[in-house]
């Protein structure tokens, strides 16, 4: 083959873009609904400022003040009558004391687990896997109920202002849940900006109402409502507080009021959503949230007991709306501002429902990463959010809304038990950690966390007893079933990992040579080694391995495993960036580039780990066919799926290697798009001599060039050959390979980094290459 101009070879050129798959209708529809996909390298830009984080993560507990007081009165009035209003303030005081203790405990959680915390992580690190799953189940149930009850309460706020729409309550709640799901599928940052305003509007409007109310209370013009209005809850007879029945009713009312504290854990679950320094911003937001929540609960309870605001049987008008209407009066300003208050209440309740879309996917992502939930819950979607978690949350909440008819009173029966279980585990777990580690001020932290855990445990016990017949029985029944199911799923994953583990006998593979073969690598296990063995039987001219990088940490793990596995010492592995996570496109692009020469044929081998039955489809996504189908449409390219039966290993049957499945269809190429991709454009300052940079598409052979671009592929040499490293960088005009001799890695270099290089331009296989350039890395 001609190697240079001296023997008639064509002029070497920079790497150029290639054809991409035509987007299917489903993907075009997704782009239409959700917008363009976000590049995975922009994940850090999806972090939230404190002012937005307060709107996203604090709206749930803040919004609970809209109905916490009312739920206390719902439990008291039918049994104590007017006396309920005298009991309201002491009970509110107990709720505020618990709020203070739990807030201080979660402040310690955030300080200790500075990226992601919450009850699940605390339980996993301090109590083990079983307790962690109890925490996970508690939070999962709580977030599902939170979405349902906040949406229903928000619609109730609308009905308080416009009673004529009461007949459309259920469709409105369903519509709100679907709207929130859609907003969050468009991205965390967009949802944060959208729902930050309602939090501030609600706080401003309620503090304005409280200010006017204090003024009217001091001058004696604050009205008192008639507790015998039609539609209100029936007034009970005043009775003593020391009877067993009275104590039971008081505890049940307190359990209702505990709903005001739900959502406190959302900030500790979502520390990683904050801008850096994450834990400091999260702690400040937690304190602001707790202060606002306490003030709002105290204010609503105080004025409700002052004006005798009665709950209604059909939940409309709400207690908070009665407080606002009584304080604001019937004047023109009062009527207008009352509508503002109702709108703010509605929006904050919907924003509170939105909080679950930030916290729930993170919790299930933790559990899925640990192998207790299906792994597809760890995948980031179109907008770099955990879209599968969002869909699971929305679907579960819709089912709950249908079952309960969107009734707030019915939903409260399921509420708060889960979150107080999480409070208990978190507090006791942190207390254990403080006692074991004994760091600075550990005694104070131990007392705070231990007290928070014990108080929450008492509340959980009260909930389980007094709410048992109203719906707590369902939570108590379902929770252990889900915990056992999570543990069973984890055992299944462990069996599969053990079956795929490469042992010493399976490492070595005999070397044979013929045409080009590439093995696509997702993990270094027995299936991958078996695929390499099959590749050697094809007598290839060369064998390469390729891993498309979706996660940098996983890529680093694969690199280390590959380098340490003697069975693949002479098989070099290439790491190619896949920023939009569309594996079929990345594979097609690689295959076209590998077969540019007309005399080159390529076989791509795709290990497929075969899992049988419904459980196998549930626990694993099937991507081999999706990659093989478009790959095999290319000329001179064959995609071969190599099945590997995991169930046979688990069951103890003799392992067999199945005949490969070959997919072949005709490819319809489309207009190249890689060179126009926005992700190649860097918004960062490149270097102090940026004016000397030459576009890659304009560099010339045998001349020095100074180029900059994004790293799209890293190719270290095989372990049994001379150490070399090839790095492919691209800008908007094309790509070039940087070749480093005498090394297999560069510290700090990873796909997606910005690299500046300067050196003499040479040629290798007809493509321009810069040999041993001086370089600078910008992450």
| Percent of the chain residues past pLDDT 90, beyond the cut | 6
Cα separation, 481 vs 483, in Å, equals 5
- 696-712: per-residue pLDDT in tens? 888 888 888 889 888 88
Does the structure show a pLDDT above 60 at 3? Answer: no
Instruction: Note the pLDDT of residue 251.
Output: 75
Q: Read off the pTM.
A: 0.67
Q: Nearest CA to 270 among 150, 147, 385?
A: 385
Cα separation, 537 vs 82, in Å, equals 87
Cα separation, 609 vs 493, in Å, equals 13
- 140-181: per-residue pLDDT in tens? 888 898 888 888 888 877 887 777 787 888 889 899 899 888
3-state SS, 534-594, equals HHHCCCEEEEEEEEEECCHHHHHHHHHHHHHCHHHCCCCEEEEECCCCCHHHHHHHHHHHH
| Contact (CB, 8 A) for 542 and 516 | yes
Question: 148-186 burial, b for 16+ CB within 10 Å, e for fewer?
Answer: bbbbbbbbbbbbbbeeeebeebbebbbebbeebbebbbb
CA 315 to chain centre: 34
The chain-wide mean pLDDT, for the chain, equals 79
- Between 727 and 645, the more confident residue is 727
Q: Is 649 helix (H, G, I), strand (E, B) or coil?
A: helix
Cα separation, 697 vs 674, in Å, equals 13
Instruction: Note the pLDDT of residue 431.
Output: 92
Instruction: Note the pLDDT of residue 696.
Output: 87
Query: How many residues does the structure list for the chain?
Result: 779
Does the structure show a pLDDT above 60 at 77? Answer: yes
Average pLDDT over residues 456-479: 82
Does the structure show a pLDDT above 50 at 1? Answer: no
- Between 683 and 201, the more confident residue is 201
Instruction: Note the pLDDT of residue 250.
Output: 73
- 90-117: per-residue pLDDT in tens? 888 888 888 888 888 888 888 887 766 6
Instruction: Note the pLDDT of residue 487.
Output: 92
Instruction: Note the pLDDT of residue 208.
Output: 92
Instruction: Note the pLDDT of residue 428.
Output: 92
| Contact (CB, 8 A) for 426 and 122 | yes
- Between 258 and 149, the more confident residue is 149
Average pLDDT over residues 38-60: 66
Cα separation, 239 vs 439, in Å, equals 51
Residue by residue, DSSP assigns 591-648 as HHHHT-STT--EEEEEEEEE--HHHHHHH----HHHHHHHHTTSTTEEEEEEEEEHHH
Kindly tell me the burial class for residue 26, based on how many C-beta atoms sit within 10 Å of its own C-beta (0-12, 13-18, 19 or more).
exposed
- Between 443 and 506, the more confident residue is 443
Query: What are the Cα distances from residue 533, in Å, to 291, 382, 568?
Result: 64, 36, 10
Does the structure show a pLDDT above 60 at 424? Answer: yes
Parallel/antiparallel/unpaired status of strands 573-577 and 541-549: parallel
Query: What are the Cα distances from residue 742, in Å, to 62, 249, 760?
Result: 60, 78, 18
Region of poorest pLDDT, from 620-634, 636-650, 676-690:
676-690
The alpha carbon dihedral of 468, 472, 473, 476 has a sign of negative
The alpha carbon dihedral of 368, 369, 375, 379 has a sign of positive
Tokens of 294: 């306490």
Does the structure show a pLDDT above 80 at 379? Answer: yes
Cα separation, 56 vs 549, in Å, equals 31
Average pLDDT over residues 182-202: 72
Average pLDDT over residues 310-330: 83
Does the structure show a pLDDT above 60 at 33? Answer: yes
Cα separation, 344 vs 466, in Å, equals 33
Cα separation, 512 vs 542, in Å, equals 9
| Contact (CB, 8 A) for 303 and 212 | no
Banded pLDDT at 195 (limits 50, 70, 90): low
Tell me which DSSP letter residue 10 carries.
P
Average pLDDT over residues 194-215: 86
What's the farthest any 2 CA atoms get from each other in the chain?
107
Residue by residue, DSSP assigns 99-162 as HHHHHHHHHHHHHHSSSS-HHHHHHHHHT-HHHHHHHHHHHHHHHHHHHHHHHHHHHHHHHHH-
Banded pLDDT at 67 (limits 50, 70, 90): confident
Banded pLDDT at 738 (limits 50, 70, 90): very high
Banded pLDDT at 358 (limits 50, 70, 90): confident
Instruction: Note the pLDDT of residue 80.
Output: 78
Average pLDDT over residues 207-227: 88
- Residue 135 dihedral angles phi and psi, to the nearest 5°: -65, -40
Banded pLDDT at 38 (limits 50, 70, 90): low
Does the structure show a pLDDT above 70 at 28? Answer: yes
Helix (H), strand (E) at residue 731: strand 724-731
Cα separation, 336 vs 334, in Å, equals 6
CA 731 to chain centre: 31
Does the structure show a pLDDT above 90 at 476? Answer: no
- 546-590: per-residue pLDDT in tens? 998 888 888 888 888 888 888 888 889 889 888 888 888 888 888
- 284-306: per-residue pLDDT in tens? 888 888 888 889 889 988 998 88
Of 59-73, 259-273, 457-471, 733-747, the range with the highest mean pLDDT is 733-747
First to last CA, the chain: 39
- Residue 499 dihedral angles phi and psi, to the nearest 5°: -65, -30
For residue 277, say if its preceding peptide bond is cis, omega within 30 degrees of 0: yes
Residues in a beta bridge with 734: 731
Cα separation, 690 vs 714, in Å, equals 24
Does the structure show a pLDDT above 50 at 511? Answer: no
Does the structure show a pLDDT above 60 at 9? Answer: no
- Reported as half-sphere exposure (CB side, CA atoms, 13 A), residue 699 has a value of 36
Instruction: Note the pLDDT of residue 655.
Output: 45
The alpha carbon dihedral of 79, 85, 90, 96 has a sign of positive
């Amino acid at each position: 083959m001609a190697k240079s101009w001296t023997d008639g070879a064509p002029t070497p050129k920079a790497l150029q873009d290639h054809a991409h798959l035509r987007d299917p209708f489903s993907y075009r529809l997704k782009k239409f609904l959700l917008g363009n996909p976000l590049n995975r390298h922009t994940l850090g830009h999806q972090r939230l400022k404190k002012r937005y984080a307060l709107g996203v993560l604090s709206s749930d507990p803040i919004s609970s003040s809209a109905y916490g007081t009312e739920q206390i009165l719902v439990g008291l009035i039918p049994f104590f009558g007017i006396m309920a209003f005298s009991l309201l303030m002491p009970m509110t005081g107990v709720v505020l004391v618990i709020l203070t203790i739990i807030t201080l405990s979660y402040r310690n959680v955030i300080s200790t687990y500075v990226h992601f915390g919450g009850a699940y992580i605390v339980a996993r690190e301090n109590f083990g896997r079983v307790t962690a799953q109890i925490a996970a189940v508690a939070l999962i149930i709580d977030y599902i109920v939170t979405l349902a009850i906040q949406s229903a309460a928000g619609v109730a706020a609308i009905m308080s202002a416009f009673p004529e729409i009461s007949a459309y309550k259920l469709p409105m709640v369903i519509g709100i849940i679907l709207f929130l799901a859609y907003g969050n599928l468009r991205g965390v940052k967009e949802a944060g900006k959208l729902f930050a305003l309602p939090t501030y509007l609600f706080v401003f409007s309620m503090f304005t109402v409280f200010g006017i109310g204090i003024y009217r209370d001091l001058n004696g013009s604050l009205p008192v409502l008639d507790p015998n209005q039609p539609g209100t809850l029936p007034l009970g007879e005043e009775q003593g507080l020391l009877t067993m029945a009275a104590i039971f009713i008081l505890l049940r009312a307190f359990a209702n009021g505990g709903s005001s504290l739900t959502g406190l854990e959302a900030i500790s679950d979502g520390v990683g959503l904050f801008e850096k320094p994450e834990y400091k911003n999260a702690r400040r937001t937690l304190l602001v949230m707790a202060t606002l929540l306490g003030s709002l609960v105290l204010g609503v309870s105080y004025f409700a007991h002052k004006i005798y605001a009665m709950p209604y049987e059909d939940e409309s008008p709400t207690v908070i709306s009665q407080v606002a209407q009584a304080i604001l009066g019937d004047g023109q300003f009062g009527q207008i501002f009352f509508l503002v208050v109702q709108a703010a209440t509605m929006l904050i309740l919907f924003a509170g429902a939105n909080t679950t879309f930030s916290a729930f996917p993170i919790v299930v992502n933790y559990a899925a990463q640990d192998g207790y939930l299906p792994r597809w819950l760890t995948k980031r979607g179109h907008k770099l959010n955990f879209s599968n978690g969002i869909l699971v949350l929305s679907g579960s909440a819709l089912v709950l809304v249908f079952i309960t008819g969107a009734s707030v009173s019915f939903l409260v029966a399921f509420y708060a038990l889960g979150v107080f279980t999480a409070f208990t585990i978190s507090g006791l777990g942190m207390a254990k950690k403080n006692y074991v580690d004994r760091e600075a001020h550990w005694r104070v932290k131990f007392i705070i966390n231990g007290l928070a855990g014990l108080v929450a445990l008492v509340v959980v016990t009260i909930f389980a007893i007094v709410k048992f017949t109203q719906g707590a029985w369902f939570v108590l029944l379902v929770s252990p079933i889900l915990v056992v199911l999570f543990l069973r799923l984890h055992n299944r994953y462990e069996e599969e990992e053990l079956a795929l583990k490469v042992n010493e006998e399976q490492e070595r593979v005999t070397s044979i040579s013929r045409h080009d073969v590439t093995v696509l690598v997702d993990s270094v296990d027995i299936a991958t080694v078996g695929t390499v063995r099959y590749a050697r039987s094809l007598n290839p001219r060369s064998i390469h391995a390729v891993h498309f990088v979706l996660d940098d940490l996983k890529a680093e793990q694969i690199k280390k495993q590959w380098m340490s596995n003697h069975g693949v010492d002479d098989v070099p592995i290439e790491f190619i960036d896949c920023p939009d996570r569309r594996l079929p496109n990345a594979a097609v692009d690689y295959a076209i580039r590998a077969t540019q020469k007309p005399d080159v044929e390529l076989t791509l081998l795709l290990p497929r780990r075969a899992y049988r039955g419904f459980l196998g489809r549930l626990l694993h996504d099937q991507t081999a066919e999706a990659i093989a189908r478009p790959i095999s449409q290319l000329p001179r390219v064959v995609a071969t799926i190599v099945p590997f039966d995991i169930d046979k290993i688990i069951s103890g049957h003799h392992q067999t290697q199945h005949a490969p499945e070959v997919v072949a269809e005709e490819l319809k190429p489309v207009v190249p798009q890689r060179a126009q991709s926005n992700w190649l454009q860097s918004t960062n300052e490149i270097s102090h001599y940026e004016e000397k940079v030459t576009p890659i598409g304009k560099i010339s052979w045998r001349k020095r060039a100074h180029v900059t671009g994004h790293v799209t592929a890293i190719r270290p040499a095989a372990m049994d050959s001379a150490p070399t490293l090839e790095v492919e960088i691209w800008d908007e005009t094309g790509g070039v390979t940087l070749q480093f001799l005498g090394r297999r890695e560069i510290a700090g270099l990873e796909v997606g980094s910005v690299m500046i290089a300067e050196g003499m331009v040479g040629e290798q296989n007809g493509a321009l290459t810069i040999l041993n350039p001086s370089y600078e890395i910008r992450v």
